[in-house]
Amino acid sequence: MSTEQTWTLGALLDWTAKHLAQKGSESPRLDAEVLLAHAVGCKRIDLYGARFAEGATSEIRQRYRHLIRRRIEGCPVAYLVGKKEFYGLEFQVGPDVLIPRPDSEHLVIEALSVAKAIEAPRILDVGTGCGNLAVTLAKNLTAAKVTAIDKSAGALSIARGNAAHQGVAERIRFLEGNLFSPLNEFERFEIIVCNPPYIPTGEIKNLPPGVRDYEPAQALDGGLDGFEVFERLVDDARARLTEGGWLLVEIGAPQESVARSKIARFIDYDLAATTKDYSGHPRVLKARRRPLAD
């Protein structure tokens, strides 16, 4: 990125997109746009139109150069700009939390669907991370009572900030602990959602560098077979669901058959059809707590 010529924002953007493409970026133009908008302090769409021909100051070029260098090293764009969009809402993110993925929006979609039949659903988000599931559900279900649990104090700090930013902080209770441990023994929920760590330990090394080297390992590593947290969640959730309550769990696409069998072994659950993601891959398992026997 030469400083000898006079750079416009448009020329800077075009050059950087080509540079990122040469470095192997999967979305070079988008990365270049998001990072330049962050360096300039404007919205991505504002880079076009009149601003496209605007001169890029030395301060902007310096900030942008640093961001591009970090991106080429592998740092995710979301961490570089400190935010990520999820279900139409903006969430602050950082190295303490997993970056929200579009496919996780299907957990929200399914929770909203089953919540239609419940007047004031009690919802539990296990392993809330940045709070994207809990906050989005609270935002869309004004009568819901939402509880969010995470064992990471850093993650909970970010989640609380996101709840405040979206105006739902007063309607979400945040608890620190592992799985259901922070709850009292009498608490029950109509809906439990969870995006557990499900990558087998041995496969972590094969993940893209941006995921493997930057995102929190405890949010990725699902143990030897990828089901360590999943099995405990499914087992313990039986005592935390109301009769007819729903457990909604995100899975890795290749895990559907095994994951369904692990739920089916409990007579307490009725399994619904698996929800597929935007790419048509299995993504969300839905299990309903059967009524207790008379």
Residues 203 and 249 in one domain: yes
Q: pLDDT value at position 122?
A: 98
Q: pLDDT value at position 260?
A: 97
Whether pLDDT at 105 is above 60: yes
Q: pLDDT value at position 294?
A: 42
Residues 6 or more apart in contact with residue 243 via CB below 8 angstroms: 289, 290, 291, 292
Q: pLDDT value at position 103?
A: 94
- Report if residue 167 sits inside a domain: yes
Residue 216 CA to residue 208 CA, distance in Å, equals 14
Residues 43 and 172 in one domain: no
Average pLDDT, the chain: 93
Residues 108 and 23 in one domain: no
Looking at the DSSP bridge assignments, the partners of residue 123 are 146, 191
**How many angstroms separate the first and last alpha carbons of the chain?**
73
| CATH code of residue 248 | 3.40.50.150
Angle, CA of 149, 200 and 111, to the nearest 5°:
40
Residues 131 and 276 in one domain: yes
What distance lies between CA 264 and its chain's CA centroid?
27
Mean pLDDT of 205-234: 94
* Helices within 74-175 (DSSP H only): 77-81, 105-115, 132-140, 153-165
- The pTM of the full predicted model, rounded to 2 decimals, is 0.90
Residues 153 and 244 in one domain: yes
Mean pLDDT of 69-75: 94
Do 37 and 43 form a contact (C-beta atoms < 8 A)? yes
Residues 191 and 239 in one domain: yes
Which of the four pLDDT bands, split at 50, 70 and 90, describes residue 3?
Answer: very low
Q: pLDDT value at position 5?
A: 61
By C-alpha distance, which of 58, 75, 71 is closest to 21? 71
Q: Pairing between strand 269-271 and 282-289?
A: antiparallel
pLDDT in tens, 153-178: 999 999 999 999 999 999 999 999 99
Residues 64 and 131 in one domain: no
- Report if residue 134 sits inside a domain: yes
Residues of the domain holding 62: 9-73
Specify the number of domains making up the chain. Answer: 2
Q: pLDDT value at position 278?
A: 92
N residues, the chain: 294
Residues 150 and 29 in one domain: no
Residues 100 and 229 in one domain: yes
Whether pLDDT at 293 is above 70: no
